[in-house]
Amino acid sequence: MFNAEKFIDETVAKLKEEVPGKALIAFSGGVDSAVCAALVNKAIGKQLVAVHVDTGYMRKDESRNVKKLMDKIGLNYHFIDASKDFYSALKGVEDPEKKRKIIGEKFIRIFEKVAEEENIKYLVQGTIAPDWIESGGELRDTIKSHHNVGGLPEEMKVELVEPLRDLYKDEVRKVARELKLQVSERQPFPGPGLAIRIIGEATPERTQIVREACDIVEKEIEESVEKGIMEMPWQYFAVLLPIKSVGVQGDKRAYGYVIAVRAVHSIDAMTCAYSKIPDEVIDRISTRITNSMKEKVNRVVYDVTNKPPSTVEWE
């Protein structure tokens, strides 16, 4: 049985030894990085420098909320808007593994630059067990390169510290609750962000569409859970497909994108079952997405596959 209190005590003690100088943390605002930041903050205080990168592939209002969270925890932080840089690096790139590697490498280069400027030797990352298990290695096949593993360049100039490496998501949440972090119940959001929810090229225009669709899915599902119509899924979002289909707007032919809605139940992300969402909720999601983006989206589908054979994300 996992004991969060014991884990915190032991990890903080270990970090005090493992990180004798200034450290940098990539702060995404998700449960993993928030727990990591809080633990390292307990161990080394202001020696920790948090960096939040706005990649341009964040959810609606995400970076603003992350700023608030960093202020609230009292972290010493840098906020870097690198969206133009990420968009141009992914221009013309369609292959999912290439996208992941480019994003991972960009993140690391940004962190390396801050580390150099601030004379930091340690990089703290919120990698959890499924990230490295699924990224392959000597004993396992690569299923997908999670950005915080597959994107690492060969010769890193900073030393990696990964305090959550042996934990599964449910255990990270237990630690978050023990640390009284409000983000403890937030659904996971992948490091490469919305870029891997746009199948094919992740252009700014497509990003805007999937951002809006994800926001609608989140709001509709959260409201439905509040009203008691359905249970909270483990993760729920929208994916933009790289195909267009024919539809009708008024009495005119339309030709627009397809949005896939995904909602899953899981315990540790290693397996998942698709959520059986009530029809009325699906109806509302579909209507709102097609109404709010009339010119761009004219079809919404629901993903009814489990993991395996699928994965949670589409890329």
Residues within the interface to ligand XMP (CB under 6 A): 130-131, 134, 144, 146-148, 188, 190-192, 235, 269, 307, 311-313
Report in angstroms how near the CB of residue 80 gets to ligand XMP at its nearest: 18
Please check whether residue 108 is in contact with residue 156, taking contact to mean a CB–CB distance below 8 angstroms.
yes
Q: State which residue, 29 or 256, has the beta carbon closest to ligand XMP.
A: 29
DSSP conformational letter for 230: S
Q: State which residue, 52 or 299, has the beta carbon closest to ligand XMP.
A: 52
Q: State which residue, 143 or 243, has the beta carbon closest to ligand XMP.
A: 143
What per-residue string of b and e applies to 298-307 under the rule 16 or more CB within 10 Å gives b? bbbeebeeeb
Report in angstroms how near the CB of residue 313 gets to ligand XMP at its nearest: 4
Q: How far is it, in rounded angstroms, from Cα 104 to Cα 89?
A: 11
Report in angstroms how near the CB of residue 100 gets to ligand XMP at its nearest: 6
Closest CA to 53 of 76, 28, 33: 28
Please check whether residue 51 is in contact with residue 178, taking contact to mean a CB–CB distance below 8 angstroms.
no
Q: State which residue, 167 or 312, has the beta carbon closest to ligand XMP.
A: 312
Report in angstroms how near the CB of residue 241 gets to ligand XMP at its nearest: 16
Q: What are the angstrom distances between the C-alpha of 291 and each of 53, 273, 288, 294, 298?
A: 32, 29, 5, 5, 9
279-292 and 204-226 are packed helices; what angle lies between their axes, rounded to 10 degrees?
Answer: 150
Q: State which residue, 145 or 290, has the beta carbon closest to ligand XMP.
A: 145
Report in angstroms how near the CB of residue 86 gets to ligand XMP at its nearest: 14
